[in-house]
Amino acid sequence: MLLTIDVGNTNTTLGLFNGHNLKFDWAFSTDPDKTSDEIGILFHSLFHHTKQDIRSVKDVIICSVVPPVMNSLVAAVKKYMRKNPIIVGPGIKTGINIRYENPKEVGADKIANAVGAVKLFGAPVIIVDFGTATTFCAINGNRDYLGGVICPGIRISAEALFEKASKLPRVEITCPSDVIGKNTTASIQSGLFFGYVGQIEYIVGKIKKEMREDNIKVVATGSLARLIASQCRSVDEINSLLTLEGLKEIYYLNTKG
């Protein structure tokens, strides 16, 4: 089996694939202070809980946007799984042409998302990723990664509001039944949620105009994709684990499988 690992700023997500089928997925908080042994014990706990044999893992592939985590994570994979993981980075085959001014600036997670989206939904495609940051990536019909947009994530915005406005409470991110809030909590929830829905609709529309292509699919991913994108008319597909799917495809592009 193949273990895919997506290290994000907030969470680390794991996907266990049997061939091309995702069997299990797990997530835990990303912590640069975790030792390789702590990560290894966590691996064993997750596999044991789902009655999977960790020795069944044939290969491991990792994408990360948190460099301080990598030494401990790679050491844990080598020690507890006895595998040398594939790391998504410069020189790896993706089938995507990076047209960014500095290709090294494109996050490994964005590359994995692009590969996964093109494989599952074709090109041209726009990917909206609801992570710590909300990001938009544009891939044209020639599979060129054109660039994108980076915005503060909805949770970051909510925390900033709570920290900087002394009388405003911390709120749960939810889909309000009405736009007009009848109390402070409901008003904040409405502003956060519908503000982000509006942001998605506007930015996607502007990206489509600049791409000047027909039949551009819009795919949403990330932990909040189903909550927010379900209210966005511009979103065609929702796949919360798109990064893991992309990592799987990158693995097969770089090995004989």
Contact 63, 244 (CB under 8 A): no
Alpha-carbon gap, residue 50 to 47, rounded angstroms: 5
Alpha-carbon gap, residue 227 to 192, rounded angstroms: 12
Alpha-carbon gap, residue 86 to 122, rounded angstroms: 25
Alpha-carbon gap, residue 12 to 72, rounded angstroms: 13
Grouping H, G, I as helix, E, B as strand and the rest as coil, residue 129 is strand
Q: Classify residue 149 by burial, with Cβ atoms within 10 Å: 0-12, 13-18, 19+.
A: middle
Residues in the chain, total: 257
Grouping H, G, I as helix, E, B as strand and the rest as coil, residue 141 is coil
Two tokens, residue 147? 């660039």
Alpha-carbon gap, residue 7 to 29, rounded angstroms: 9
Q: Let me know if 31 is a catalytic residue.
A: no
Instruction: At 245, give phi and psi (nearest 5°).
Output: -65, -40
Alpha-carbon gap, residue 180 to 201, rounded angstroms: 20
Q: Which of 109, 129, 178, 214 is catalytic?
A: 109
Please list the active-site residues: 109
